[in-house]
Amino acid sequence: MSNDPHLPRRGLMMMVVSPSGVGKTSLTRRLIADHADLHLSISATTRQPRPGEHDGRDYHFVDRLSFDDMIENDAFLEWAEVYGNRYGSPKAPIMAALERGDSVLFDIDFQGAMKISAYAPEDAVKVYVMPPSIGEMSRRLHARSQDSESVIRMRLSRAKDEVAQWEKFDYVVINDDFDRAYADLAHIFHAERLRRARNSWIAPFVQGLIEEPL
């Protein structure tokens, strides 16, 4: 819940996008750990659970028929098919969280962020996390040893295409130093929580000031 129940505040949807190997996961998980009113969006998916994954914690695992029914009932903020499996962001729990003052963080791709922003522009905050250079991104991808050389080259090429879309984001953070990048991300979240439009307590508070006898 919101940190101060005496100041009713609408939550926000914070979408953090970056190419692979830039450190987005480490940044966003620390942001969530440090803020009790910020929660990671849990996607629904038609793919099978991987070892160690749990329904409701990592994903909402559903069959394809159920996913299709959710599409038919307009139950997603956005959804996409990736390598034969479908992934989507369930609308109802996210919008309920915003209403009660909690915020939701999306570890999401570029297309998903654009779809959510188009659906709820007043609630959406789009942050792009960039590498300090393509060379450094390449070094990090090679260092983690998770992908083949051809996959790494594909990721680097895709990163250049995404970086060119930087003007579509509200904020750009360069992760050349983790602590500095994290501080920037946290400052963005704090500032967005204070936006006048998200804070319904301001109008009656100001009216009380105006009516207060001298």
Indicate the pLDDT class of residue 153, thresholds 50, 70 and 90.
confident
What is the tens place of the pLDDT at every residue in 77-97? 999 998 789 999 999 999 999
Longest dimension (CA), the chain: 73
Domains annotated for the chain, with CATH where assigned, are 13-196 (3.40.50.300)
Tokens found for residue 19: 């190419």
Q: Between 147 and 97, whose confidence is greater? A: 97
Triad 149, 155, 161: Cα angle to 5°: 145
The sheet carrying 38-40 orders its strands as 38-40, 103-107, 13-17, 124-130, 171-174
Percent of the chain with pLDDT over 90: 73
CB 8 within 8 A of CB 2: yes
Which region among 21-30, 68-77, 144-153 has the lowest average model confidence (pLDDT)? 144-153
| AA letter at 28 | T
E-strand stretches of 3-134: 13-17, 38-40, 44-45, 60-61, 76-82, 85-90, 103-107, 124-130
What is the tens place of the pLDDT at every residue in 171-207? 999 999 999 999 999 999 999 999 999 999 999 999 9
Q: Between 152 and 97, whose confidence is greater? A: 97
pLDDT of residue 1: 43
Nearest partner of 163 among 139, 130, 210, judged by Cα: 130
